Amino acid sequence: MDWYQEASGRKAAILHDLQGLLAIPSVYDAETAAPGQPMGRGIGEALRFMLDLCAAEGFRVRNLDGYVGYAEYGPEDAEHYIAVLSHLDVVPVSGEWTTPPFEPDVRDCKIFARGAIDDKGPAMASFYALKIVKDLGLPLRNRIRLIFGTDEEKTHRCMEKYKELEPMPAFGFTPDADFPIVSAEKGQINTRFLFPQEPETPDAKGEYELLSFRSGVVANMVPEAAEAVVAGEEGALQALGQAYRAYCNDHGYKGGVETGEQAIRLHMAGKAAHGMEPELGMNAGLALIHFLKNYSWGESAGHYLHTVDTLLFDDVHGRALGIAMEDELSGKLTVNSGILQFDPRGETFFHINLRFPVCGSYEEILKRISVKLEEHRLAMEPPSLKKPHHVPGDHPMIQAMQAVYEAETGQRANLLSTGGGTYAAHFPMGVAFGPLFPGMESTAHQPNEYMEIELLLRCTAIYARTLNELGNLEI
C-alpha cells in the first residue's frame, strides 16, 4: 500500500477543508460563551465545522455540550477504541503578520494562518487519515475515535468533561508535538505571584514614580512586548530616556521612548516563543525590568522591580527560585513568566508557567518556592497542576508506531520527551506523535504561523497507516 500516494491524491480536498477550518477565529472568548459553546462562539463554530465534516463522511459523531466532540469509525460492537486527540482552539493573535491570521494563505508551499501547525493542520490530517482507511475498505478490529478538544491552550476543561462522560480509550496519540514519538511529558505548575498592596509612606518616595508596567497577554508564551509609564521631574525623565536608549543600544535590544510633559513611556520589543522553550525567546518584560530596577523608586515599585529581576532575569531554569533540576529522560526544569503587571491602583503580579522533569514532583517544588515567597513577601494563587507523564517504550502501541514511522520515513523512531502539555497526558497510555519532524522550525504561537503542505501530506499518510495498524492491534 502506498499511503503517501493516497494522501497526495486528496491534496486539493485536504487544503480546501483546512482553509475552511483555519478561517474560523477559534480563540477563547468569555464574552460569547453560552450553553453549547462554553469557550465562546468561534471555538463553538470550529467544533461544529469538524463534526459536520465527519458526519458527512459517515462517521458516528457526538458533541459533548460544546466542550469536546468526537467522530468514530469501526465496528460498533468492538470492546476497545483507539483515540486520536487534537484541539481546535488557538492562542490569541500577536505580532505583525504578512497576511491576516484568519485568512489562510497558501504561498511558498506552505499554508499560513493562526492554528495551521497548532493544531488544526494536524487535526485535518487525522481526519483524512481515517477517511483513507474508510475509503479503502480496510477492516478494523478496534474502533477509532477522533476526539476534538476546545480548551487545550488554557485549562483543558474539555478533557475533564470528556473523562467525566466517556470511557477511557485503550491507548492513543495526539498529533500536537514532534516526531518520532513523545513518550514523556514534563509536569507543570501555573500560578501567579501576587505583591501586597501597601500604602506608600511619604519618606519612601523615589526620584521616579512607576505609573504602570505591562508585559505579555498569554501565560504560556514568552512576551514579545513590554511597556512602562514613568513620571518624574522633566530633567530626570530626560536622563532616564537617554539612559534607556543607551541600554538598548548596548544590549542589541529594540526599545523606544515616547516623551510627554510629566511622564514617558518606555517600550521594549522581545521575541515570542512557546512557554515550554523560554530559552528560544527574549522576554521583553524582564529585559525592561532589568533596566528599571537600577533607579530610585517608591517602596512598592522598588519591591516589584527588584523581586522580579532577582527571581527571573536571565534564569529560565529556576536557579534563583531554588528549584533547578533535570533528568536524562525529560531534561531541565524551565520557567516562563508570560504575564507581568505593576498597577498602583490594582493588581501587581507576575505569572509563572513552570515545567518540571519526570524526576520531580510539584509537592517538592512548591515547598521550595514557598521559602522564596516568604523571603520576598509574596502570595501565591492556588496553582494549576499537571503531573509528569510517561509511557514505557515496550508498550505494544509504541512498538507498532515505531514500525510505521520507520517504514514511512526510513529514519529511526527514537523516543522523545517534551516540556509541552499535550492531551496525551490525560490518558494512561497516551503519547504525542508529530506533526514536526526532527529539525523542523516550529511556528506555534508565533506570527506568520504555518504548516508546510508537504508535511501535511506526509502526516496524513503516516497517520493513516498508523490507524490501520492500531485499529487491528490485539488488545
- Catalogue all structural domains in the chain, each as residue range(s) with its CATH number: 3-185+388-470 (3.40.630.10), 188-386 (3.30.70.360)
The label of the residue with cell 521559602 reads: 371
CA distance 473 to 176: 23
β pairing state of 379-380 and 389-390 = unpaired
pLDDT above 80 (res 51): yes
Read off the pLDDT band of 309 (50, 70, 90).
very high
Residues with catalytic function: 89, 152
Res 201: pLDDT: 63
CA distance 431 to 39: 26
Residue matched to cell numbers 463534526: 51
pLDDT in tens, 359-418: 999 999 999 999 999 999 999 999 988 889 999 999 999 999 999 999 999 999 999 988
- What pLDDT sits at residue 200? 64
The C-alpha angle 176, 180, 184, rounded to 5 degrees, equals 65
Question: Which DSSP symbol is given to 204?
Answer: G
Residue-wise pLDDT tens digits, 91-122: 999 889 999 999 999 999 999 999 999 999 99
Mean local confidence (pLDDT), 257-280: 92
**Residue carrying the nine cell digits 513620571:** 231
Give whole-number Cα distances, 377 to 193, 198, 306, in Å: 10, 11, 12
419 pLDDT more than 90: no
Nearest-CA neighbor of 85 among 36, 166, 184, 152? 152
pLDDT at 364: 95
Percent of the chain with pLDDT over 90: 88
Mean pLDDT of 162-167: 96
Share of the chain above pLDDT 70, in %: 99
Phi, psi of 99 (to 5 degrees): -130, 155
User: Span 246-264, mean pLDDT?
Assistant: 93
- 102 phi, psi to nearest 5 deg: -115, 25
**Residue the block writes with cell 501530506:** 457
d(CA 191, CA 380): 7
